Structure 1
Amino acid sequence: MKTPVSPALVAVVGPVEPALLAAWTAHYRRFGIERFHLAFHFPDHVPDTWRHQLIAASHDLGIVPAQISTGPWHEHTNTQLRDSLREQAGTGWHLIADSDEFQTYPSPLAAVIAQAETARHKVIGGLVLDRATNDGRLALWRPETGLDRAFPLGGHLTHRLLKGDPRKIVLAHSSVTVASGNHRAPGHKPDPDTLACVHHFKWRSGVLDDLRRRVDRFTSGEWAEHTPAVRSEASRLLQHIDRHNGRIDVADPRLAFRRVTLDRLPDGWAAEATKIATTWRPHTAQSQSGSTISSPSPSP
């Protein structure tokens, strides 16, 4: 049987807004994605009504969830669900994206995969670009506004402020194992000169409650962790927000926020992303194998 040209999309989805799921699905369908392998996980604090709404929204989008689970969001929860989905997706290329990650590629997806296969690469990489509002407020997003208009700025919050790993494996062949958080594939290195831009729409209204909950539950041991990376990054963001009156400091030149859009790579992206990806090193307090705050949100 011939392997389908279009990769299967694999994603673990937390209790995001149904409108975000709809925008995310539409974004990847524009790339020609037809097969969505989604697992929904709901921590115990999520109301039943939210869970039912999101599952109904998935069905309305023509996607039958491969798995639905509830309970603690342990650090290993996402990895176990993701790997189960990849097994179900079968042989071929898998596009791996969190539900707040909208990837943009340097060329059409089929060409990106063909180029990788010609070079005998089994993974394709990307780099996180955090999206923010014009004034750094953690805004309530309305679908009629559109993500690009609501969060027009893109910058390097994840690694320059939070000390998280901005590297992502965005496409991997089914024969390749991907590490926790989708940051690495042991034994495989993506081409650093053709990195996708992973637009990260995490910084929305409600995320602060999620971050505080992560810190509390990982600290108490209610949610199991392998490294302190998730807690440390969440704490850095909360401290930053407190110092800046509830906002991200989008004027900080270190974070390099500027206007970007989903329909093309940011100006100068290839050189910028290559430099960051090749020089980034784990923060001293963070194991390189650890997950980061950019893993799927338990709840924004």
Structure 2
Amino acid sequence: MPHLSPALIAVVGPVESPLLAAWVRHYRCLGVERFLIAFHFPDHVSDVRRHELQATARELGIVPTGTSTGPWHEHTNTELRDSLRHRAGPGWHLLADVDEFQQYPAPLGEVITQADESGHHVVGGLMLDRVTGSGSLTTWRPEGGLETAYPLGGHLTHRLLRGDPRKIVLARHDVAVASGNHRSPSHRPDADRLCAVHHFKWRSGILDDLRRRIQHFSSGTWEEHTPAVRDEAGRLLAHVGRHGGAINVSDPRFAFRRVSLDRMPSDWPAEARSIHTTWRSHAHSGQD
């Protein structure tokens, strides 16, 4: 019988060391034993920060497969991810960015067994954006934890940014996955069994990251396939500019409410299925 613990595949950028540590702990609690990560650092990242993150990985018992520096072209993440997947070899691969904490309706081994038995070669998820109670883009204290700092969960990615909230969270080794892990060109997940992808992106420093992204993609310093990524960044910056530097958590479109990694949001299967099956890249228009 094959081993049901998937290899976790991730390309890690210049995040806070406590976030990397919390992320590793989360997935170890889910049963992940094998981490294949690669660091990539844009040129603005200091040597001190790079070394700190590399030291954190070693302290966590993880040896990165490699560290690269330079422009973060739109294809950079995909190429590094696919190299890691090739190295991981046969079996199931868990795909997660370092700000994504996946929450499953059943133990990970059961999720994989069910997918195998039903003939699904991928398992899907839907982003649940986590923000502070006020919507402010603040830092967080490791001793308090991400849950305390960002207690609200809602649908910011697609209802404000017009980004794709769908994720491929688990894929068999021989299944291709598109850029950003948003879909598989040849396989569809079971829309009735979607995991919640708690998305802790909206932290202190994100606005500078988004401005840098727009600058580099607009100038051609970083290569892009479409303007979608920079357009999404611009929508977030425009929104917080209209709301005093914060996300408007009272906007009913975003459906922000208190959520927890300890239990699935109420009515999640129906909520996630509805969004997952009706989302279209051209479906959102109008003012935010």
What interval of TM-score do these two structures reach, taking the shorter chain for normalisation? over 0.9
- Mapped to 1, the partners of 2:19 and 2:115 lie a distance apart of 30
Partner residue in 2 for 1:142: 141
Distance in 2 (alpha carbons) for counterparts of 1:94 and 1:10: 7
Q: Which amino acid aligns with 1:266?
A: P
Q: Please show how residues 180-195 of structure 1 align to structure 2 within 5 Å.
A: 180-195=179-194
Cα shift readout 1:91-126 (whole Å, capped 9, x = no counterpart) = 000000000000000111011011100101000000
Provide the rounded CA distance (Å) in 1 between the counterparts of 2:169 and 2:132: 25
Query: Is this contact kept in 2: 1:3–1:91, CA < 8 A?
Result: no
Asked if 2 retains the 8 angstrom alpha-carbon contact of 1:164 and 1:283, the reply is no
**3-state DSSP class of the match of 1:30?**
helix
Identify the residue that residue 70 of structure 2 maps to in structure 1.
71
Q: Please state if 1:255 is matched with 2:274.
A: no
Matched residue, 2:28: 29
Secondary structure at the counterpart of residue 107 of structure 1 = coil
Residue aligned with 2:30, SS: coil
Contact persistence 1:130–1:157 (CA under 8 A)? yes
Partner letter of residue 127 of structure 2? V
Match of 2:207? 208
Amino acid at match of 1:16: V
Structure 1 residue aligned with 2:113: 114
Q: Once the 2 structures are TM-superposed, how far is the Cα of residue 264 of structure 1 from its aligned partner?
A: 1.5
Look up the match of 2:272: 273
Within a 5 Å distance, the mapping from 1:122-137 to structure 2 comes to 122-137=121-136
Show the counterpart of 2:172. Answer: 173
Structure 2 CA distance, aligned partners of 1:62 and 1:157?
A: 34
TM-score (norm 2): 0.97
Query: How far, CA to CA, are the matches of 2:115 and 2:152 in structure 1?
Result: 30
Task: Report the CA distance between 1:153 and its aligned residue.
Answer: 0.1
Query: Looking at both structures, which has the greater relative contact order when contacts are Cα pairs under 8 Å and sequence separation is at least 6?
Result: 1
What RMSD over aligned residues (CA atoms) do the two structures have, in Å? Answer: 1.2
SS of 2:272 mapped into structure 1: helix
Are 1:39 and 1:68, in contact at CA under 8 Å, matched by a contact in 2? yes
1:234-266 CA-to-partner distances (Å, cap 9, x unmatched) read 000000000000000000000000000011210
SS at match of 2:281: coil
**Aligned partners of 2:87, 2:221: CA distance in 1, in Å?**
30
Write the distance in 2 (CA, Å) between the matches of 1:251 and 1:93.
39
Measured after TM superposition, the shift of residue 284 of structure 1 is 6.9
Deviation at 1:145, TM superposition (A): 1.0
Using the alignment, how far apart are the partners of 2:108 and 2:11 within structure 1? 21
Identity of aligned residues (%): 67
Q: Distance in 1 between matches of 2:284 and 2:225?
A: 13
Deviations 1:61-110 (A, max 9, x none): 00000111000000000000000000000000000000000000011101
* 1:13 maps to 2:16: no
Gap runs ≥5 in structure 2: none
Instruction: Tell me if structure 2 keeps the 8 A contact 1:134–1:152.
Output: yes
Q: In the alignment, what sits opposite 1:293?
A: none
Tell me the number of residue pairs that the alignment of Structure 1 and Structure 2 aligns. 285
Unaligned stretches of 5+ in structure 1? 287-300
Residue 43 of structure 2 aligns with an amino acid whose one-letter code is D
Give distance in 1, aligned partners of 2:7 and 2:117: 20
Q: One-letter code of the match for 1:10?
A: I
The two structures have a TM-score, normalised by structure 1, of: 0.94
